[in-house]
Amino acid sequence: MIRYLLRRLSVLVPTMIGVTIVSFSLIRMVPGDPVLLLLGERGAQPEVYRTVQSSLGLDQPILQQYWVFVRDALHGNLGESIQSRRPVWQEFKDRFPATVELGMAAMLMAIFLGIPIGIIAAVKRNSVFDYSFITLSLVGYSMPIFWWGLILILFFSVLLGWTPVAGRIGVEFDIVPRTGLLLIDTFLSGEGWPAFKSAVSHIILPAIALGTIPLAVISRMTRSSLLEVLGEDYIRTAQAKGLTRARVIGVHALRNAMVPILTVIGLMFGTIVTGAILTETIFSWPGIGKWIVNSVTSRDYPVIQGGILLIAVAVVSINLLVDLLYAVANPRLRDLM
């Protein structure tokens, strides 16, 4: 297990170097002078120009610059936002929990709805349920979620008036962030039930929008994986032993069908990050997705640069974690990887 972990980490090193190079080159690849870009189009006095240039280290040789960039990044120093004048790392830290909360809500919905739905479709193969499932999951899989989010708003917020349109919680609540996850913080604070209800009503539509594609993918994979396993000899043996249908499917079949389902769940985290960028923009959800999009529109290059690096680190770490869990769950696979 340790050896597997080390091997997995050693593959990560070139990837992370590559990501830092992408992030480092970004500001230097933008057409035009990065110093003028930071100072604005007005132009600057020569001495101001030189101060900024040397404060950014842009008068150093390029390798030196890269080294300084990596060293600073490892110390959590990613420069400061042009817009807010706050450190990029601070800005990221404030917003990250919101994205984690949304992503987790979407993922939990996709897993806890997707697996049972897939099981039912597989068990009732070729039934009306199965056919409608196949059609709906294909539609879900092809869904442009930036449109789907708007349709959900149109139906549930505009027409029915059930849910709010934007934000994380009603303005009347002032929650002190402890974990950063509002669904938990509302309980830790004195506000209690009404605040929790407000937080739930805010998160439900974005979570549905974000969870739709993972839901379609996970349930499709559950169905096909389970169907494949149900044709195996040991299932026939289990049935022949007179085990109940529930036990055959729930224990014997599902446990063996779980491997591809887990794989696909792991792959969905990347989809969640991509989707979060769109979902947060639609629902004005104050997470890192909306932050990075805003920084591109306002050409806040330190934020883009640092944000890309931090998001890539987050994605790579999640993938590593998923792979490790995967190896813990399947000892058979450790040697293959």
Partner 1 sequence: MEQVITTSMQPLITMTKADPEPNPLTEFWYFFKKNRGAVIGLVTIVCFLLVALLAPWIAPHNPAELFADALRLPPVWSAAGSMHYPLGTDDVGRDLLSRLIYGARVSMGIGFLVVFISAGLGTILGLLAGYYGGLLDRVLMRMIDVLMALPSILLAIVVVSILGPSLLNAILATSVVAIPSFVRLVRASVMEQKTKPYVVASKTFGAGPIRQMFVNILPNCVAPLIVQSTLGFSDGILNAAALGFLGLGAQPPTAEWGTMLSDARSFIESAPWMVTLPGLCILMVVLGFNLLGDGLRDALDPRLRK
Chain positions contacting partner 1, by CB under 8 A: 11, 14-15, 18-19, 21-22, 26, 29-31, 138-139, 141-144, 146-148, 150-151, 153-154, 158, 270-271, 273-274, 277-278, 281-282, 292-293, 296-297, 299, 301, 304, 308, 311-312, 315-316, 319
Q: Which is nearer to partner 1, 20 or 222 (CB)?
A: 20
CB of 36 to partner 1, least distance (A): 15
What is the distance between the alpha carbons of residues 172 and 238, in angstroms, rounded to a whole number? 58
- State the minimum distance, in angstroms, from the CB of residue 186 to partner 1: 28
Angstrom distance (rounded) from CA 23 to CA 67: 13
The CB-of-178 to partner 1 minimum distance in angstroms stands at: 29
In terms of CB distance, is 132 or 237 closer to partner 1? 132
Among 318, 293, 316, 291, which residue's Cα sits nearest to residue 91? Answer: 291
C-alpha–C-alpha distance, residues 290 and 98, integer Å: 11
Q: Which residue has the tokens 């890192």?
A: 288
Least gap, CB of 240 to partner 1 (angstroms): 26
For CA atoms 79, 297, 96, 276, the dihedral sign is negative
Nearest to 5 by CA among 267, 316, 327: 327
Best CA proximity match to 12, nearest among 335, 331, 318, 333: 318
Judged by beta carbon, residue 93 or residue 299, the one nearer partner 1 is 299
Pick 239 or 274: Cβ nearer partner 1: 274
Looking at beta carbons only, is 67 or 147 nearer to partner 1? 147
Residue 159 beta carbon to partner 1: minimum distance, rounded to whole angstroms: 9
How far apart CA 256 and CA 21 sit, in angstroms, is: 41
CA 184 to chain centre: 19
Specify the residue, 246 or 336, whose C-beta has the smaller distance to partner 1: 336
The helix-helix angle for 193-230 and 88-123 (nearest 10°) equals 50
Instruction: Compute the least distance from the CB of residue 185 to partner 1, in Å.
Output: 27
- The DSSP output letter for 175 is P
Nearer to partner 1, 182 or 275 (CB): 275
- Contact between 101 and 182 under an 8 Å Cβ cutoff? The reply is yes
CB of 217 to partner 1, least distance (A): 12
